[in-house]
Amino acid sequence: MGQHVAKIGVQGRVLTKFAGVQRGVTCVMLPKTFHMHRIGRRGGTRDPQLLGPDTSYRKAPRDRGCCSINFLKYVLFIFNFIFLLGGCAVLGVAIWTLTEKHHYVSLLTTTTYASVAYILLLAGIVVIFAALLACCAILKEDRCSLLVYTFLLLLVFLLEAVGGVLAYVYEEQVMAELSHTLTQTFNENYMMEPEVTRAVDMMQREYHCCGALTFSQWRDSRWLQEGQGINNTVPDSCCKTPSPYCGVSDHPSNIWYNGCIHQFEEELGSHLVVLGAVGCGISLVQVFGMILSCCLYIKLKDVDDEY
């Protein structure tokens, strides 16, 4: 083999001397690619050869930095797990409200208390569906599903925030409502409406009370004035030991003398505080989820556009 010597000219012409034959190679630089043309002894172009794109300048956006796709996926997985736990908590509180405390709704003149429970129930159901959708979207890196997940997070945020604010606002108004309407409900609707009758009897047995403000208010009730109480002076649920017709005597040893309104107000207020805290507190978590999902969506879009 002959000696191989290369000299590079000013204009990018490469002269080679191989086995006594002078040949030339001209490099033409284009964006991201370059072509080499082999030039013979007389300077004619023989055959262009595409050597391929120069990818040395590209980075690996999936794996580099704190905002890489893999990092965002891991963080969003962790958030989604916390999001699911929070949704289950909201759903549990809503179900508990509707099953254990819903019978007292008939004693209220507004539907705010029931509305808060139903709003949180809907939010909890949406959370479970959104969490399952998020798992599929993250694993498949599906931008469309990720966008739907972001809108579901926004919906859950609005539902929980509205439910929490309603609970806090109604908690401030519940005392005024009960003081104006509970006595009237006891006197006008007891034994006239089955739901109210069951709620009043359950409340008097549970709270160990009699009447809205005091036991003596039963004397003004329609139930007693229309003779439905037979010989009773108070309902049997007022008795310390409830039994049929035990309400004939209103002696302190037989019935409770304190009214129900204060205990009812205290329990209803504390329950509304719980509903408000759950709604407003957990709704703040959705903000971080929306930020993470938007970041992952943009990152996936940038990678797709680049390649």
Tell me the pLDDT tens digit for each residue of 112-145.
Answer: 888 999 999 999 999 999 999 999 888 888 889 8
Q: Has residue 9 got a pLDDT over 90? A: no
Q: What is the mean pLDDT of residues 159-167?
A: 93
Higher pLDDT, 49 or 268: 268
Q: What is the C-alpha to C-alpha distance for residues 269 and 251, in angstroms, rounded to an integer? A: 32
**Residue 47 per-residue DSSP state:** E
Residue 50: which residues within 8 A CB-CB, separation 6 or more? Answer: 33, 35
Highest mean pLDDT among 68-77, 95-104, 150-159, 284-293: 150-159
**Residue 213 per-residue DSSP state:** S
Mean pLDDT of all residues belonging to the chain: 79
Per-residue pLDDT at 215 = 92
Higher pLDDT, 160 or 306: 160
| DSSP per residue, 104-151 | GGGG-SSSHHHHHHHHHHHHHHHHHHHHHHHHHHHHHT-HHHHHHHHH
Tell me the pLDDT tens digit for each residue of 218-233.
Answer: 988 999 888 777 788 9
Q: What is the mean pLDDT of residues 89-99?
A: 90
Percent over 70 (pLDDT), the chain: 77
pLDDT-derived band at 63, boundaries 50, 70, 90: low
Q: What is the mean pLDDT of residues 170-198?
A: 88
Residue 115: which residues within 8 A CB-CB, separation 6 or more? Answer: 166
- What is the three-class DSSP state of 37? strand
pLDDT-derived band at 30, boundaries 50, 70, 90: very low
Residue pointed to by tokens 């304190």: 258
Tokens of 250: 């209103």
Tokens of 9: 């000219």
Per-residue pLDDT at 203 = 93
